[in-house]
Structure 1
Amino acid sequence: MSNSISCQIADGREAAAFFEAHPHIDAVDIIFTNMCGVPRGKRLRRHEVIGVYENGRYLPGSAAVVDITGRDTEETGLVWEDGDADRLLRPLPGSLVPAPWLGPDAAQFLTGFYELDGTAHDLDPRHVLGKVIERLMAIGLTPVVAVELEFYLVDQARDGNGQLQPARGLRNPHRSDDIQVYGLRELEDFKPFFDDLYTACDAQGIPLESAISEYAAGQFEITLRHRPDALRACDEAIMYKRLVKGVAVKHGLEATFMAKPFAESAGNGMHLHISMEDATGHNAFASDAAEGTDLLRHAIGGMQAALGDSFAIFAPNANSYRRFKANSYAPVASTWGVNNRTVSLRIPAGPPASRHVEHRVCGADANPYLAVAAVLAGMHHGIVNQIDPGAPVVGNGYEAESSGPKMPSNWFAAVDQFRQSALMQDYLGARFVEMYAIVKQTEQERFFALVPELDYSWYLRNA
């Protein structure tokens, strides 16, 4: 069995104790999250679960490389050529929890993906993240991570023109058509949804904190508390996204984390707040200086250097690239600054002991495991090579000249750069980089092979 930190496996005693405490549960979802970030798996009866904890559960290896729609990516050579052979899912400790939005008899647990000989599967995003964390731990640093996700609540039905529309409130059936950032009335209107969301998060041990109405009608953000365990922080982000969507459906709504649901409104970001603990458990970025320590500056320099190479992780889908627009609170250059939301890499205001960096590039559609892996890879690269990030941006970052590498301007360029990146191959694994690129290039071909309604509107009569 692999001894990677990501390879901790729960045993049957955990499941036995859970069922003793929850004797009514008889529908248990087993969840694996592949590179596209979509939870997949099986629904089991109660009597099947102990066997999974003792021996694992088989799942075809092709599940590691299905695209975002769940379709096989034959171009990887991991479907027919492999005989679509089974691998093993093994349960993650502490992840067997109730799923109250599915009913009183429902539960779920997360899994890792393994070869039949017990080796960690190199295309499992969680194992990819574990390898990067180990490189930081080897130089005496433990990443402390919080994942912040924005989402929209929308109607399940489209409007008369077939367009997506913000949801009506649950207490007051008003449909907002203005921004109302930080509006309390907007939180009040959806209080039944938020009440159930907090209750479900408490039931699953997800550390949910403050909620805000974000910079668009129907858009919200809720904070997940930081963790000195980056793997667990990402596990909770995966659980949280599923939970938000499920609770929304329970209330007749749809929750979406797609990067840009509305063309003229703010996009959904995934902001990653990261610091480093040293061997004594203290924040290695802590400093009376607002710009932090040299270690923090080097970490920022590394994130800048890796930004272009890892952009296909941060913006994984065609829709992702609609989010990057000046003066939209989404970054457009590899800039950094202090207490400045117009840059990509922000050191937030706060007391010296809280000094950390907020990575603001990712869309909420990114896979949390891979996004954190790519960010930590950049930080490690910057720290070990003592990369200087240059001077911080003061004022409007959208007008500032960036001294760092350019951000890819489109999906095709991003995937090409990622595939060719020696840096990403070093940290994430050469085979993972190749397979991820193939999956995304196949998605590109499938996406652009479709003829959307806009083509008819623009070209049917005019071309």
Structure 2
Amino acid sequence: MNILAAAKPAIKNATQETDVPRSFYAAICDLNGIFRGKRLPGSKLSSALDGGTRMPMSSIGVDIWGTDVAGTCLTMERGDLDGICHPTGRILSDLGWAKDADQPLLHLWMSKEDGSPYYADARHMLAEILKRFAALELRPVVATEVEFYLLDPAADPSSPASFNATNRLSNFDDIYSISELAETSAFLDEIYARAAACDIQVEAATAEGAPRQFEFNLLHQADALKAADDTILFKQIIRNTAQNHGFRACFMAKPFQFHAGSGMHVHFSIIDKNGQNIFDDGSETGSDALKHAVGGLLDSMAEMTLAFAPHLNSYRRLCPGGLAPTTVAWGYENRTSALRIPAGPCVGRRIEHRVAGADANPYIVLAAMLGGALYGLQNKMAPAAPVSTNSHELDLPCLARDWNEALRQFENSAKVKTILHPEFVEAFAACKQQEQDIFAARITEFELQTYRTSV
């Protein structure tokens, strides 16, 4: 179906004169999961819906600092040509950028001038993988879990936010603390309200295992593209709402050396044309289809590490000693493994993918995860035996050990290019290479303190 034709019915009400905002943001999501776009007057809404919005193709692949990536050869070599950004079909979303004003987001995705998908936009890549499932009359059912810290914006370096100066536990772990949830009730209530208004269904909120660390669980749904949309929009709702309440939301994978990292776990199953879960065969261990999906995920996992851990800081989370994985392993009810098969009723049999950090792009995570599972299903890949002990201490294949190794494996893997898309792999690898080069050139204060007078 034509992208624009699909979009118009979903946002028809927004084009009515009484619903047109004074201004709105028209934005795509770049490779790092950051919104980039324009603020437009409400009078331009109709034209944005009818013809899309033009933006440089290079804007989808800028680095984490918003600088053009030389390795894509889109800027100088090709004259910084435009792509066409069409609405995704979602209603205008008020994510809370302006606390007392109506400045909603028109969510866009980028195509080439001729209307074909630009696969450096990871939303197109995920949509393509979902078409492969649909061709087999299958549909993934997906739910994400988002962890983050609330920080004190006045602290330098940032430290966990202080809600109550007399709380003696404010700098200590306090997992599943009801008191911590109660102290943030106004913040949490606003997040739930904004999410509901944006058609994002949020389930539980918990105080996680570190001071001022929280987790939200989003409701499972049989539309993985919307699940990714919901996750990227929800993260922005959290950021904006935190700012409105005097905090700063942090989605770094490991912002504190001695506290837990923040993950983005994904639960998924797959249903057939009759709505039956193909992972359920009535047993506690699950069907052959579940094991084949696990086999594909494990077989592609090391080469896909960059998709789940895209930044320098990501690898500080993927270390032994915690519940974030380091090995390519799976297990039943085992949170040390990269893939966990939760217990519960057989009809709800599913896989929990535990590798991605909260800093990862949800479109890329879901594409890599679902693409790997489909690869296993199509090739009937049998996994190694499940693990029941601490997977960190077993002699098993490992995830990429650091950022540089992850990039090398990702860009050189024929399997990754098959599961994802060569156009995406080229753009993402160039983006990450530029980010790595810039970090490698920086001389840190710790480096100076170590070597300045000692060598």
Which residues in structure 2 correspond to 1:89-128 (within 5 Å)? 89-100=85-96, 102=98, 103-128=100-125
Which residues in structure 2 correspond to 1:225-374 (within 5 Å)? 225-374=219-368
Given residue 328 of structure 1, which amino acid in structure 2 is its aligned partner?
G
CA distance in 1, matches of 2:327, 2:376: 18
The answer for the alignment partner of 1:42 in structure 2 is 38
Q: Deviations over 1:372-403 (max 9, x none)?
A: 1011111111111111112211132222332x
Q: Deviations over 1:71-91 (max 9, x none)?
A: 011122111111111111101
1:269 and 1:362 in contact (8 A); partners too: yes
What's the secondary structure of 2:179's corresponding residue? helix
1:11 and 1:54 in contact (8 A); partners too: no
2:374 is equivalent to residue 380 of structure 1: yes
Mark the runs of 5 or more structure 1 residues left unpaired by the alignment. none
2:447 is equivalent to residue 444 of structure 1: no
1:16 and 1:50 in contact (8 A); partners too: no
Q: Deviations over 1:219-243 (max 9, x none)?
A: 1001000110100000000100111
TM superposition shift of 1:163: 2.5
TM superposition shift of 1:266: 0.5
What's the secondary structure of 2:106's corresponding residue? strand
Closer, same or farther: CA 462–451 of 1 in aligned 2, 3 Å: same
Given residue 257 of structure 1, which amino acid in structure 2 is its aligned partner?
F
After superposing the two structures, state which structure 1 stretch, 197-206 or 448-457, moved more: 448-457
CA distance in 2, matches of 1:303, 1:14: 34
TM superposition shift of 1:16: 4.8
What's the secondary structure of 1:398's corresponding residue? helix
Which residues in structure 2 correspond to 1:19-38 (within 5 Å)? 19-20=15-16, 23=19, 25-38=21-34
CA distance in 2, matches of 1:83, 1:422: 30
Given residue 131 of structure 2, which amino acid in structure 1 is its aligned partner?
E
The answer for the alignment partner of 1:210 in structure 2 is 204
TM superposition shift of 1:172: 7.6
CA distance in 1, matches of 2:276, 2:138: 10
TM superposition shift of 1:195: 1.1
The normalised TM-score by structure 1 is 0.94
CA distance in 1, matches of 2:112, 2:374: 28
1:56 and 1:89 in contact (8 A); partners too: yes
TM superposition shift of 1:104: 3.6
Given residue 383 of structure 2, which amino acid in structure 1 is its aligned partner?
P
CA distance in 2, matches of 1:152, 1:368: 18
TM superposition shift of 1:15: 4.3
Identity within the alignment, %: 37
2:386 is equivalent to residue 389 of structure 1: no
Given residue 435 of structure 2, which amino acid in structure 1 is its aligned partner?
E
CA distance in 1, matches of 2:112, 2:40: 22
Q: Deviations over 1:298-317 (max 9, x none)?
A: 10011000001111111100
CA distance in 2, matches of 1:170, 1:226: 35
Closer, same or farther: CA 204–151 of 1 in aligned 2, 3 Å: same
What's the secondary structure of 1:97's corresponding residue? coil
The normalised TM-score by structure 2 is 0.96
2:55 is equivalent to residue 59 of structure 1: yes
CA distance in 2, matches of 1:115, 1:357: 35
The answer for the alignment partner of 2:13 in structure 1 is 17
The answer for the alignment partner of 2:421 in structure 1 is 429
CA distance in 2, matches of 1:58, 1:172: 53
Closer, same or farther: CA 123–282 of 1 in aligned 2, 3 Å: same
TM superposition shift of 1:175: 6.9
What's the secondary structure of 2:110's corresponding residue? strand
1:336 and 1:344 in contact (8 A); partners too: yes
2:136 to 132, 135, 139: 139
After superposing the two structures, state which structure 1 stretch, 341-350 or 391-400, moved more: 391-400
Deviating runs (4+, > 6 A) in structure 1? 170-175
TM superposition shift of 1:451: 1.3
Given residue 291 of structure 2, which amino acid in structure 1 is its aligned partner?
R
What's the secondary structure of 2:265's corresponding residue? strand
Given residue 64 of structure 2, which amino acid in structure 1 is its aligned partner?
I
The answer for the alignment partner of 1:408 in structure 2 is 400
Q: Deviations over 1:99-122 (max 9, x none)?
A: 345234221121110112211112
Mark the runs of 5 or more structure 2 residues left unpaired by the alignment. none
1:9 and 1:91 in contact (8 A); partners too: no
Given residue 459 of structure 1, which amino acid in structure 2 is its aligned partner?
Y
CA distance in 2, matches of 1:99, 1:171: 30
CA distance in 1, matches of 2:4, 2:224: 14
Q: Deviations over 1:324-363 (max 9, x none)?
A: 1223110110111111111110011111111000000011
The answer for the alignment partner of 1:418 in structure 2 is 410
1:58 and 1:87 in contact (8 A); partners too: yes
Q: Deviations over 1:207-230 (max 9, x none)?
A: 111100111111100100011010
TM superposition shift of 1:170: 6.9
The answer for the alignment partner of 1:72 in structure 2 is 68
CA distance in 1, matches of 2:296, 2:260: 28
TM superposition shift of 1:426: 1.0
Closer, same or farther: CA 127–332 of 1 in aligned 2, 3 Å: same
CA distance in 1, matches of 2:168, 2:112: 52
CA distance in 2, matches of 1:339, 1:284: 20
Q: How many residues align?
A: 454
Given residue 383 of structure 1, which amino acid in structure 2 is its aligned partner?
L
CA distance in 2, matches of 1:170, 1:91: 43
